[in-house]
Chain A
Amino acid sequence: DVKVTQSSRYLVKRTGEKVFLECVQDMDHENMFWYRQDPGLGLRLIYFSYDVKMKEKGDIPEGYSVSREKKERFSLILESASTNQTSMYLCASLGGPLAGAKSTDTQYFGPGTRLTVL
């Protein structure tokens, strides 16, 4: 079974703090993603990475950065947290199909980190 884990389920930070969200996958996937999810807005892509040390901006990268030093780990960094970054953050990795599935584009999601910035 593919496992994607995130460092925290709930996090409370203060405005201006530097915040690190960690994501680890155990399936040797090359592609990893960070999304944020807000009510009524679906999943919005922040950054993604297709290889170690490679990263690309998604649709809403402002205020965020990422780090991919090892294949299994993809970190999201909020350099100076702001209240409008209060959200649910979801990490995903992309890999081959589950047994019986037909997709090579299955994204496996972590449990999410609910971040509150005060």
Chain B
Amino acid sequence: GQSLEQPSEVTAVEGAIVQINCTYQTSGFYGLSWYQQHDGGAPTFLSYNGLDGLEETGRFSSFLSRSDSYGYLLLQELQMKDSASYFCAVSLNTNAGKSTFGDGTTLTVKP
């Protein structure tokens, strides 16, 4: 089976840095993606790691260690609008692009 573990809730203050971890146990691995979902909205793509290391996209960075089956999303200079749910997703190594999603982490940013 496939399983992804991420914290259910994280709270931080504006301007701070927060890290959301994701550990996975899957049969087959192609890459790790992160999605953001605001309340009532659809998930939107944030970041992807296919290789070990850090990927930076503006205030957001994502890290992957395949040997540890672990990744994280780092959000810097937090803003109120960053309050949302964040999902990690493992792309399985099939040509159908199937992914397995974690249960999501609800981030609350306080003033």
**Could you tell me which A residues sit within 8 Å of B by CB distance?**
31, 33, 35, 40-45, 48, 50, 56, 58-59, 90, 94, 98, 101-103, 105-112
**Could you tell me which B residues sit within 8 Å of A by CB distance?**
8, 30-31, 33, 35, 41-45, 48, 50, 55, 87, 89, 91, 95-104
Instruction: Say yes or no: A42 contacts B41, CB within 8 Å.
Output: no
Q: CA A56 – CA B96 in complex, angstroms? A: 9
Instruction: Say yes or no: A43 contacts B43, CB within 8 Å.
Output: yes
Taking the closest CB of chain B, its distance from the CB of A34, in whole angstroms, is 12
Query: A103 to chain B: which residues have CB within 8 Å?
Result: 31, 33, 45, 48, 50
Q: What are 17 of the A-B contact pairs (CB < 8 Å)?
A: A31-B97, A42-B101, A43-B43, A43-B101, A48-B96, A90-B43, A94-B97, A98-B45, A102-B55, A105-B30, A105-B48, A107-B43, A108-B45, A109-B43, A110-B42, A111-B41, A112-B42
Number of A-B contacts (CB under 8 A): 69
Instruction: Say yes or no: B104 contacts A42, CB within 8 Å.
Output: yes
Query: A35 to chain B: which residues have CB within 8 Å?
Result: 101
Instruction: Say yes or no: A106 contacts B33, CB within 8 Å.
Output: yes
Q: Take A31-B97, A50-B96 as given contacts and tell me if A109 and B33 are in contact as well, using a CB distance cutoff of 8 Å.
A: no
Instruction: Say yes or no: A45 contacts B31, CB within 8 Å.
Output: no
Q: Take A48-B98, A102-B48, A105-B31 as given contacts and tell me if A43 and B87 are in contact as well, using a CB distance cutoff of 8 Å.
A: yes
Instruction: Say yes or no: B97 contacts A50, CB within 8 Å.
Output: yes
